[in-house]
Amino acid sequence: MPFYEYRPAHTPGCQRCHGGLVILQKLNAPALSHCPDCGVALIKIISAPNVPTKGQATLSASNIEKAGFTQYKKIGQGVYEKTAGRGPNVIGQED
């Protein structure tokens, strides 16, 4: 399923949509016409797809951090350790 970008048509919109929305939708799903929270009219933005090229290290730690994501790996039952990005070093651990 692809991600689709939307922005408010004329008015600033609410906290959720004022800077734009990124929504995961099925290919055959109808485009959003209004914000699900405030009802302001939305415009679908056409943007270039992000297609990895051959030989490109798409999941390197530096690429993950540059994109603003955090990556975790499972180290136990419901416990994950950070391998790249910002965020807590371990999640899911009960103290």
Examine residue 52 and state whether it is found in any structural domain, yes or no: no
pLDDT in tens, 2-35: 788 999 988 788 888 888 888 888 888 888 899 9
The tally of domains found in the chain comes to 2
How much is the average pLDDT of 50-76?
A: 79
Residue 94 has pLDDT above 80, yes or no: no
Examine residue 54 and state whether it is found in any structural domain, yes or no: no
pLDDT bin (cut points 50, 70, 90) of residue 58 is: low
Residues in the chain: 95
For residues 43 and 72, membership in a common domain is answered with no
Please list, in sequence order, all residues whose beta carbon lies within 8 angstroms of the beta carbon of residue 87, skipping any fewer than 6 positions away: 70
For residues 31 and 66, membership in a common domain is answered with no
Residue 50 has pLDDT above 80, yes or no: no
Domain that holds residue 26: 1-47
Examine residue 37 and state whether it is found in any structural domain, yes or no: yes
For residues 17 and 42, membership in a common domain is answered with yes
- State residue 13's pLDDT score: 83
For residues 31 and 67, membership in a common domain is answered with no
